[in-house]
Amino acid sequence: MALIVKKFGGSSVSSAEKIINIAKRILSEKQPDDKIVVVVSAMGDTTDELINLASQINADPYKYKREMDMLLTTGEQVSISLMAMAFKTLGQEAISLTGPLAGIRTDAVHTKGKILDITPKRVIKELDSGKVVIIAGFQGCDELGDPVTLGRGGSDTSAVAIAGALKADFCEIFTDVDGVYTADPRISKNARKMQEITYHEMLEMARLGSCVMQPRSVEMGKLLGIPIHVRSTFTMDTGTIIREEYTMEEKGFVIRGVSHDEKVVKIAILGIANDTDMEHMVFASLAEENIDVDMIVKSIHNIEKNVADLVFTVAESDFPLASEIVKKLAERVGAREVVVDRDVAKVSVVGVGMLGNPGIAARMFGALSGTQIGMDVISTSEISISCLVKQDLFKKAVNAIHDEFFPVE
Ligand code: ASP
Ligand code: MG
């Protein structure tokens, strides 16, 4: 017997036909005494459509966060009821439960809630009576019983958290890609599907731009020790397993993947006084507005005059506010100039294998210089190295680096 949580995203449940096919597939794979929990997202683009509808009432509907949650939770409620009906039609007892009915308690931060705890009494009771239990992803309720959503893509997190609370054997995330690849397969034709990847690497790849799953769900998997199997809704093939450590021999790869992020902007404050107070001022005012600063480089411009340049990157979505803040600040402190470059992309290599394995940066930069690609700001973490390249060269950069670390036989 196995207890398995299976999550299906919006594109997997975008029509009645797809919902029926998923129910059929689950039943065809189910062993007689397996216990199955299905977590679903809203059908297709429902969540976007609901947001759009709300913005026709008020241009900034997120002002009314509780009402947004009341609205958005309806999307998943449609899919769970239809999915339960599909199972029943096929002769399998099933029941749909909203997040609150499944015992998912969150904090009260509407539209960006965090799961505080799960009391899955009802879920266990229904599973014990032989039913397939279908739970709405992306939602829970706060202390008052008000609906709270978990941030876009939050059904992944629901699924992993439920798997943790039920001590499930594993959690399967069904999606429209068939696993995690060593690079975006739309960009690198030599990209390969990985059999396994560690939570740590998956989180780092997500942070650096590969968005297969909501990062918080991977964190949750690590915390609760739930192996996550990312696989395709449309084929029966094995996908990629995310877990703490490798169990299979995937030797020879010090690097697990090449990630890229086109949605970054570089901001440079040139000609500022070289004192520690300056950096503190810049980054504190960005932090106050919740702006995440990524790569940071400071260079001393003129030692005698004690003048420095400060260069960093922010996400494109934070750029308008960030540049406003920085320009005001630059004026106040008498910086020479603020230069903004939107024509950049970040390319990174990720792998726990680079710990204690020197020479990775040299190989990465060698691959770039071999193809005449210039690079800009560089940053590193324990298990990644990133650099900025010109936006129109990033595909070439991803391929050059990928071919260096994953040579085609
Ligand atoms: N339906 C929600 C969204 O579109 C949650 C999810 O799909 O995971 O963000
Ligand atoms: Mg998703």
Euclidean distance between CA atoms 15 and 21, whole angstroms = 10
CA-154 nearest atom, ligand 1: 8
Determine whether the shortest distance from the Cβ of 164 to ligand 1 is under 6 A. Answer: no
pLDDT digits (tens, 9 = 90+) for 147-201: 999 999 999 999 999 999 999 999 999 998 899 999 999 999 999 999 999 999 9
Q: How much is the pTM?
A: 0.88
Beta bridge partners of 298: 310
What is the reported pLDDT for 249?
Answer: 63
Check: CB of residue 148 under 8 Å from CB of residue 139: yes
Indicate the pairing of strand 104-106 with strand 196-198: unpaired
Element (H, E) at 49: helix 46-57
* CA quadruple 194, 192, 14, 111: dihedral, nearest 10: 60
Mutate to test the pocket of ligand 1, among 68, 80, 152 (most ligand atoms within 8 A of CB): 152
Asked if residues 108 and 114 have their Cβ atoms less than 8 Å apart, the reply is no
Going from the Cα of 68 to the center of ligand 1, the distance in angstroms, rounded, reads 13
Angle between helices 16-29 and 65-89 (to 10 degrees): 60
Q: pLDDT tier at 355 (50, 70, 90 boundaries)?
A: confident
Please give the pLDDT value at position 203. Answer: 94
Residue 392 phi, psi (nearest 5): -75, -5
Nearest CA to ligand 1 atom 9: 152
Q: Is 41 in the pocket of ligand 1 (CB under 6 A)?
A: yes
Q: How far apart are the first and last CA of the chain?
A: 41
Give the CA-trace dihedral at 387, 391, 395, 397, to 10 degrees. -30
Average pLDDT over residues 6-23: 97
At residue 151, the pLDDT reads 94
Q: Answer yes or no: is the C-beta of 138 below 6 A from any ligand 1 atom.
A: yes
Please give the Cα distance from 162 to 118 (Å, whole number): 7
**Which residues, including other chains, have CB under 8 Å from residue 267's CB and lie 6 or more apart?**
311, 312, 313, 314, 322, 323, 326, 338, 339, 340, 341
- What is d(CA 64, CA 37) in angstroms, rounded to the nearest whole number? 32
CA–centroid distance, residue 404 to ligand 1 (Å): 36
3-state secondary structure of 84: helix
Percent of the chain with pLDDT over 90: 82
Spatial CB neighbours of 179, under 8 Å, sequence gap ≥ 6: 193, 194, 230, 231, 232, 238, 239, 240
154 CB near ligand 1 (under 6 Å) = yes
Angstrom distance (rounded) from CA 69 to CA 161: 20
Cα 213 to averaged position of ligand 2 atoms, centre (Å): 6
Nearest Cα residue to 335 out of 343, 326, 344, 325: 326
Sequence-ordered alpha helix ranges (H) in 111-241: 121-128, 155-165, 199-207, 215-224
Q: Give the distance (Å) from ligand 1 centre to CA of residue 388.
A: 30
Q: How far, in Å, from the CA of 237 to the mean position of ligand 1?
A: 24
Name the residue among 99, 96, 72 with its Cα closest to residue 82: 96
SS3 214: coil
Q: Give per-residue pLDDT as tens, 19-63.
A: 999 999 999 999 999 999 999 999 999 999 999 999 999 999 999
pLDDT value, residue 358 = 85
> What residues contact 92, with CB distance under 8 A and at least 6 apart?
23, 27, 132
Beta carbon of 351 within 6 Å of any ligand 1 atom:
no
Angle at 122 between CA 215 and CA 38, to 5 degrees: 45
* Of the candidates 358, 391, 385, 361, the residue with the CA atom closest to the CA atom of residue 373: 391
What is residue 7's three-state secondary structure?
strand
